[in-house]
Structure 1
Amino acid sequence: MDTQHDIALTRALTQVPGPLPSSGVIHVVIPHTGRFTIVGNHLAQHAELSLTAIGIGVHIQSLPAGSKVGIKALAARFPEGETKIASALRELENHGYLHRPRMRLANGWVVTRTVFRNQPGAVPDRVPEPTAVPEPGRVPEPTPVPEPVAAPVPIPLPEGPPAPARLPSRTAPKQPRRPLPHPHALSPELRQTASTFLADLRRHAEELVLSEEAVEELVPGVAAWLERDATTDALRHALTADLPKPLKHPARLLRHRLTALLPPPLPGIHDLAPSRRTQVTPFQTCDGCERAFRSHHPGHCRDCRAQYWEAA
């Protein structure tokens, strides 16, 4: 079988027009009669595209309209991973072969369409409509000219009720995000304690894996809690209790809890001391009518004093 194959190849090489090159590839060109795609050398021999981008571009150009050419679909078809395929698609997009315009549908939805150009920069504004070609020896019949049609006379319609006025939107304005609490004095010892506490959270809740940048950002909030005499156990319980499943943004959740659940400072000893009671005027017994009345000194009530003053 190998000898027959070599003989057939040798015969094919003898039919190649022109002299054979002394080195390099030899082309044996057999015209295609079906299932072929015309690809320009500007793509197949592009000087700046990677071989993966050229191959994906040729593959997309060979597919029928409506085929799936997303990253997931191409990764399921070829052994290259999604990262390499995504990089190749970006190359094709940067060089004008691939376009992803956003279009609004009739129902109002906005979708992203994928457009592939076999010749970047040479796409016509509109596709010309096909014209009929007359048969040989036959005179084409003249195209009849349509008779002019009188324009319809507009009929006035009765005026209807006025259009309702558009009410102002009742959507409440978005409240600005509250700032992260800060301590009065962020000492090096307090900063180190807060940083260690944040890095240790993933031992108690595996969802709370923070980057170094997130730890540095959240350190003032933890320091503000510690400055207000909050214990590390109480702070850890406030940050790790009832975590949502799945937790997509752990740093954002911790920032919210550090801000919204911040306890007030502990009151001092003097704040908890009982306040002085207001001095109350004692009761006295009237020397005249023996009724009770309030006064710091014994004597007569108001009515008896008035009678004595009138008698005097």
Structure 2
Amino acid sequence: MSNTSEFKRHRRLRSSASMRSLVRETTLSTDDFIYPLFILEGTNIKNEVPSMPGVFQVTLDRLEEELKEIHELGIKAIMLFGVPNEKDEEGTGAFIAEGIVQQATRKVKTGYPDILVVADTCLCEYTSHGHCGLIHNHDVDNDASLPLLAKTAVSQAEAGADIIAPSNMMDGFVTVIRHALDEAGYTNIPIMSYAVKYASAFYGPFRDAADSTPQFGDRKTYQMDPANRQEALREAESDVAEGADFLIVKPALSYLDIVRDVKNNTNVPVVAYNVSGEYSMVKAAALNGWINEKELVMEKLTSMKRAGADLIITYFAKDVAKWLNEK
């Protein structure tokens, strides 16, 4: 018989479900999730997004259905995206008092004041050209776009948003928004910056949901090159210095190394955005019977927390909350 004292018995801690649960290093809870919602102008509409099974565009009068379910499932935060009827060159619908996100925010805070509203602060859903800022000479004008982003943030805060989440990737957007919020008296409203946002092919289904596909060109002059790692740290460090309270890494699944880098090099909460393409691939495979959806989703989201994410923005939030509540 061989001398078994010469090797470690790692399997001792995997011997049963109870043992594995006892020593589990990373866990998921409903407190981890932010659930995106797409708010449509109009009445009595609930449109399923064709490329995102189980995700809907809803009008204000149908929003109560979503909020009731979200509240009952114990999900603490939502992120609001607007889908307006009218668009223009400046994205006026993003910052007017009666903008669709502003109306939705007031509705949420009136009926469910304990649900945190994270307002996506960008212009792309509201501009006729689909870009995240003003266009000059067929390019996005960084500095000219900043005042409009600041106006949008203040308008969202006035409507009752708990967190401002600027997603436009303009240089200086955090500092301009921070100053604008402070000057308007919203010194306690935090900024959840899309600090590290890559020009990713995983965003396709979202652009169906938010009707925000660029009408010309792409966003590679302001979103990051997927090949770059060190650049992510420069972006994150700048945003923290400018006043960001949270940092988003987007997308999540193909960028877990970046999530860990940002976590290791900053001291603010890190948010992983489990984006639409990551969602749709899983849903498509599940509908074809190729995977065990529950096990795959739980593994995937756990990997994001294990990589260093404190929070996860995910379209799976309701599904996972139901699975967690089954225990």
Taking structure 2 as the reference length, what is the TM-score of the superposition?
0.15
Taking structure 1 as the reference length, what is the TM-score of the superposition?
0.16
Larger RCO of the pair (alpha carbons < 8 Å, separation 6+): 2
Higher helix residue share? 2
Which of the pair has more CA radius of gyration?
A: 1
Higher strand residue share? 2
